[in-house]
Structure 1
Amino acid sequence: MEKNEFILVESICQYHNIDPTFIESLIDLDLVKVIKVENFKYFKTDDLVQIEKMIRLHIDLGINLEGIDVVVNLLNQIEILEEELRSFKKRLSVFE
């Protein structure tokens, strides 16, 4: 396990001053994945932007866990649709 590929869940909680139960709830809802090594839980650093987005939705906007689940799923769907649109535009440009 490369040290800079993972970040300790506890570090995120301390940095953002959030209760670890919030992160546990995100894990239970399958919104974030953790890697367990011995008695410690880690996030992949690649997932950090998404995790911090969920933390901001909760703290800054007061969105509950179920709302975060909905928002994250909708944002993922938008991303998929935008990619499909880019693909269609690229294919369509061949005919212009």
Structure 2
Amino acid sequence: MKADQAISVDDFCIYHNVQYTFIDYLADAGLINVTQINKVRCIPLYEIQKLERMVRLHTQLEINEAGIATISNLLERIEGMQQEMKYLRSRLHIYED
């Protein structure tokens, strides 16, 4: 991964005013990917939106890390079911016409 495709963990934590242990917990739980680029821990750009949502849950709603893990898993399941419903509806339209 290139350096222009990621943000350092340090920069993210300073900007969002979160502790490094929060990012470590999310990475250890498998909720986000953290990579190393030139010996600097970085967050890929495709993870930023998801991570910012988790930060808002933590800071604004005061949800702990375990709660965030549960919410993230439920949101992923909902998104998967929505994609499946979209697929099934498109298949259904084939038979309706």
TM-score tier by shorter-chain length is over 0.9
1:10-59 Cα offsets, whole Å, 9 max, x none, are: 11000001111111111121111111134310011011000101100100
**Displacement after TM superposition at 1:69 (Å):** 0.4
Hey, what does 1:85 align to over in structure 2?
Answer: 85
Instruction: Tell me the matched-pair count.
Output: 96
Name the counterpart of 2:14: 14
RMSD of aligned Cα (Å) = 1.1
Q: TM-score, normalised by structure 2?
A: 0.93
Structure 2 residue ranges without an equivalent (≥5): none
Asked if structure 1 preserves the Cα contact closer than 8 Å seen for 2:35 and 2:42, the reply is yes
Question: TM-score, length-normalised on structure 1?
Answer: 0.94
Tell me the residue number matched to 1:70. 70
Structure 1 stretch displaced more, 52-61 or 23-32: 23-32
User: Aligned pair 1:26/2:26, yes or no?
Assistant: yes
- The 3-state SS of whatever aligns with 2:95 is coil
| Structure 1 residue matching 2:62: 3-state secondary structure | coil
How many angstroms apart in 1 are the aligned matches of 2:33 and 2:2?
Answer: 17
Where does structure 1 lack aligned partners over 5 or more consecutive residues? none
